[in-house]
Structure 1
Amino acid sequence: MEKTLKVYIYKEGDKLIFHQPEAMLTGVYASEGWFMKNIKESKNFVTGNPEKAHLFYIPFSSRVL
């Protein structure tokens, strides 16, 4: 699965509005923060080419809303 499944992560601008995992690693929304952090750092699943992606991830925080 690690060799075939690829996720494209949409990039934000210079000012990160929604993707702030470091601020969300504890508390009620900790799983959201850990998922954001781990998917961003993944070398096996993440692709920079949307043409090769199977899934698309928008770094969006429900906590920030």
Structure 2
Amino acid sequence: MRVITEEDKCCGSGLCVIAAPELFDQRDSDGVVVVLDETPGADRHDAVRKAVAACPAAAIRLARQ
């Protein structure tokens, strides 16, 4: 699994960080999503899926590696 973000879509809500703080952060300057681990291990896939589902701007998506 690979995590892909579209910064131009991100509204800075921070719901991804709440859902998976070990995988996502936000830039201090504008709140845009920052991916901390683009290829998380299988033990984190559920957390990534929760973050994707929580994103109100659909700025995060998953791709197969």
Q: TM-score, normalized by length of structure 1?
A: 0.28
Please say which structure displays the higher CA radius of gyration.
1
Q: TM-score, normalized by length of structure 2?
A: 0.28
Query: Which structure has more strand as a fraction of its residues?
Result: 2
